[in-house]
Amino acid sequence: MKKLYFKTSEVLPSLMQVAKVVSPKNTLPILGDILFKVHDSSTLVLTASDGETCVSTKTPIIDGDEGLSFCIDAKDITSTLSSLSGRDVTLTLDETRTVLDGKYDNGEFSLPFESSENYPTVNTTCKMDEKIVPAQSILNALTMTSCAIGHDELRPIMNGVHIDFFEDCMVAASSDGHKLARYSDKNITSDTPEIKGFTVTEKPAKMITSMIQKMDDSIKISFNEKNVIFSCKDFKVVSRLLEGRFPNYNAVIPKDNAVIAVINREQIMETIKRVMPFGNQTFKNISFSFENGKVTIGAENIDFSKKASESVDCKFDAEPFVIGFNGADILSAMATIQSETATFKMKTADRAVIIEPSTQCATCEYLFTLMPIQINNV
């Protein structure tokens, strides 16, 4: 018999983290399990997969028999250990049986397990390009571009974040065809200009951002045409990439938008949240009317005789200008902007608008491009 002895306070956070990748609609029953593997007497490796993305993380244990490995239902083990939070638990596995036994200070339990030999893995033996990137750089890149990820089955290449490594910078971009987010970081350079980029799906992108929130270390990114691996000393995320050619995101960014408005970010967000419920709740239509140093945000639902408007001070010196937006898209843009004010660069009511932080650091640049929508009186 082999044993695993640990504190739930140390294992449970890692367990809950990897469990996020488990899909309720698995094609293979074993993908509903989490793989436990004792790396050494003080380290446990937890692994979960949905067949496309595989996440592994290391967590400390009190003691364990090296080489012990088994698969156990994700829901069963997470709910069991959650109810035992703060306690020490011993798991005992007898390979001649089909259940493992768990004990804690004043109780015990038994759960079925499966052999780890049948747990699927993503093949990553092919040659890969590699980049070492500060964790906070990849965190910013993924966080600030995930707001424009598409969800279109007919254009799957748009359903993720595309990352390019150029000689002078790293660029992350996403687009659903209606809006586009682009983040560039000049701190990340490349000695191999021929290196190709990749497009990672939304799920692993979210997994990575949640796992590196407070990391100061660097992340190794290994990738080829099929897979990408994000790894550091404590975790590894392996994912299949989206196939196809990501559109030329620079080509759709307007170059000559000369109608400029600078708006307080928090004020405009709060105003939109108050006004938008009075408009159409399907399309989230709102109007921006700029005139004499103010912008008036308006929404109207003719079918239910509802409307609202509210004015906010802004910097605007051009002729009166009215344009319509999806309010939810504007809120998404504002949520990613990290400066006190946001700059809107516009041209006409039917041309794409650039929204960006009014102040940006010298080495990083972010912009959000959004197509306006037609609304009443616009």
**Does residue 350 belong to any structural domain of this protein?**
yes
Measured from the Cβ of residue 157, the count of other Cβ atoms closer than 10 Å reads: 16
231 in helix, strand or coil? Answer: strand
Domain limit, last residue, from 70, 86, 118: 118
- Quick one: 364 and 324 in the same domain? yes
Structural domain contains residue 48: yes
- Please check whether residues 222 and 306 belong to one and the same domain: no
Would you say residue 134 lies in a domain? yes
Domain check: are 324 and 339 in the same one? yes
Q: Count how many domains the chain has.
A: 3
| Domain end position, chosen among 118, 144, 168 | 118
Quick: pLDDT tens for 212-269.
Answer: 988 889 999 999 999 999 999 899 999 999 999 999 999 999 999 999 999 999 999 9
Whole domain around residue 43: which residue ranges? 2-118
CATH number for position 280: 3.10.150.10
Q: Whole-structure pTM over 0.85, yes or no?
A: yes
Bridge partners of residue 354, in order along the sequence? 345, 369
Share of the chain above pLDDT 70, in %: 98
Neighbours of 376 (CB within 10 A): 12
DSSP for 43-106 reads EEEEEEE-SSEEEEEEEE-SEE-TT-EEEEEHHHHHHHHHHTTTSEEEEEE-TTSSEEEEEETT
Tell me the pLDDT tens digit for each residue of 52-76. Answer: 999 999 999 999 999 999 999 999 9
Predicted confidence (pLDDT) at residue 12 exceeds the cutoff of 70: yes
Of the residues 92, 118, 144, the one at which a domain ends: 118
User: Is 378 within the bounds of a domain?
Assistant: no
Q: Report if residue 375 sits inside a domain.
A: no
